[in-house]
Amino acid sequence: MPFSFIESYETARRLSSNPTGRPAGCLDLQQTRVYRAKNMALARVAPRSPGRALRRFYRRLYRHFGPQRWWPARTRFEVILGALLTQNTSWANVRRALANLRRARALAPQKLASVLARRLSRWLRPSGYYRQKTRAVRAFLRHLQRRHAGSLTRLLRRPADALRSELLSLRGIGEETADSILLYAAGRPVFVIDAYTRRILSRHGLMPETAPYADLQDFFHRQLPRDAALFNEYHALLVAAGKTYCHRQNPDCPRCPLGIELEPARAR
Ligand code: SF4
């Protein structure tokens, strides 16, 4: 019986709390209709093989956009600051805040830790929500000093799970930020999930947009080789597609390199 991956995902979730032995993916007709009515606003028939689809998406995006050379930073510390500052703002604003720090020669943990909160807050202002971000940066620096004697190397060489938990325990660091640090500063093979990734997967019928972060990440981890360089490039390419074509309103599918992956909606 043919079924889409997203249906098998939802069924697996349902069965995980009631393991009857029924194979994942065997949705009945009513469940399938409900899913399609709710989730298939734009297209399409979900790919039969999500792993192959993900690899194809990658090739199409890479051919179209080329290498993205992420993360746009000169040092691991800049990556971490960028990950903290990029929440709820554009990268252009983050760049302006980082430029302030660079001009002040404060782009190093020890130097930044000695700066007064008011001054730091002034430098971070262009990144928006600057008071919260000042607190987050200072909390990170305090933690680095107390727990790792100010050494980024000591922090970043911790085992991936321990490092992730440690980062998540800090003020202002959520899953996307922690994983950005793990992938782009520590070089660990963890896939970063952001709003663009959710939107693109959901519009192509691969995962629901509202799926928990861990499930979306697990989807990539299960379908692709655990390779930091691949995850680095793939996430950056999804961001490029999201920014350029996959807008929340009016996605530009005809010009998008993934447009060819959308099949015409079936008559329902
Ligand atoms: S804009 Fe691109 S990624 Fe978004 S739904 Fe259309 S084809 Fe897919």
CATH of the domain at 257: 1.10.1670.10
Q: Say if ligand 1 is within 6 A of residue 85 CB.
A: no
Chain-centroid distance, C-alpha 57: 16
Spatial distance between the Cα atoms of 95 and 23, rounded to a whole number of angstroms:
49
Q: What is the pLDDT of residue 25?
A: 33
Mutate to test the pocket of ligand 1, among 238, 243, 246, 262 (most ligand atoms within 8 A of CB): 246
Asked if the structure places residue 42 within a domain, the reply is yes
Q: Say if ligand 1 is within 6 A of residue 256 CB.
A: yes
The Å distance, Cα 145 to ligand 1 centre, comes to: 44
The Å distance, Cα 242 to ligand 1 centre, comes to: 8
- Report whether pLDDT(268) > 60: no
Q: Say if ligand 1 is within 6 A of residue 41 CB.
A: no
Domain end residue (candidates: 142, 164, 185)? 185
Is there a single domain that holds both residue 181 and residue 204? no
For the stretch 153-198, pLDDT in tens is 999 999 999 999 999 999 999 999 999 999 999 999 999 999 999 9
Spatial distance between the Cα atoms of 246 and 267, rounded to a whole number of angstroms:
24
Contact (Cβ atoms closer than 8 angstroms) between residue 205 and residue 44: yes
Is there a single domain that holds both residue 21 and residue 57? yes
Is there a single domain that holds both residue 212 and residue 155? no
Domain end residue (candidates: 185, 213, 239)? 185
Is there a single domain that holds both residue 144 and residue 92? yes
Domain around 57: 5-67+195-261
Q: What is the pLDDT of residue 47?
A: 73
Task: Name the residue type at position 253.
Answer: C
Asked if the structure places residue 225 within a domain, the reply is yes
Contact (Cβ atoms closer than 8 angstroms) between residue 251 and residue 203: yes
Is there a single domain that holds both residue 206 and residue 154? no
Spatial distance between the Cα atoms of 243 and 238, rounded to a whole number of angstroms:
9
Asked if the structure places residue 142 within a domain, the reply is yes
Asked if the structure places residue 207 within a domain, the reply is yes
Is there a single domain that holds both residue 165 and residue 105? yes
Q: How many domains does the chain fold into?
A: 2
Contact (Cβ atoms closer than 8 angstroms) between residue 47 and residue 7: no
Asked if the structure places residue 266 within a domain, the reply is no
Mutate to test the pocket of ligand 1, among 202, 204, 207 (most ligand atoms within 8 A of CB): 204
Phi-psi region of 135 (alpha: psi -120 to 50; beta: other; left: phi over 0): alpha
The per-residue DSSP string of 110-138 comes to HHHHTS-HHHHHHHHGGGSSHHHHHHHHH
Domain end residue (candidates: 185, 216, 238)? 185
Is there a single domain that holds both residue 154 and residue 209? no
For the stretch 213-245, pLDDT in tens is 999 999 999 999 999 999 999 999 999 999 999
Mutate to test the pocket of ligand 1, among 44, 56, 60, 203 (most ligand atoms within 8 A of CB): 203
Q: Say if ligand 1 is within 6 A of residue 246 CB.
A: yes
Residues in the chain: 268
For the stretch 36-72, pLDDT in tens is 444 444 445 567 789 999 999 999 999 999 999 999 8
Asked if the structure places residue 268 within a domain, the reply is no
- Report whether pLDDT(5) > 50: no
Task: Name the residue type at position 205.
Answer: G
Is there a single domain that holds both residue 109 and residue 156? yes
Q: Say if ligand 1 is within 6 A of residue 257 CB.
A: no
For the stretch 109-167, pLDDT in tens is 999 999 999 999 999 999 999 999 999 999 999 999 999 999 999 999 999 999 999 99
Task: Name the residue type at position 238.
Answer: L
The Å distance, Cα 259 to ligand 1 centre, comes to: 6
Spatial distance between the Cα atoms of 202 and 43, rounded to a whole number of angstroms:
10
Is there a single domain that holds both residue 104 and residue 33? no
Is there a single domain that holds both residue 109 and residue 47? no
User: Average pLDDT, stretch 78-90?
Assistant: 95
Asked if the structure places residue 99 within a domain, the reply is yes
Q: Which residues make Cβ contacts (< 8 Å) with residue 258, sequence separation at least 6?
A: 57, 60, 61, 200, 204, 241, 245
- Residue 254 or 28, more confident: 254
- Report whether pLDDT(251) > 90: yes
Asked if the structure places residue 267 within a domain, the reply is no
- Given CA atoms 154, 156, 157, 162 in this order, what sign does their dihedral have? positive
Residue 42 alpha carbon, nearest atom of ligand 1: 5
CATH number of the domain to which 101 belongs: 1.10.340.30
Is there a single domain that holds both residue 157 and residue 227? no
Is there a single domain that holds both residue 151 and residue 251? no
Residue 241 alpha carbon, nearest atom of ligand 1: 3
The Å distance, Cα 80 to ligand 1 centre, comes to: 30
Name the DSSP class of 254: G
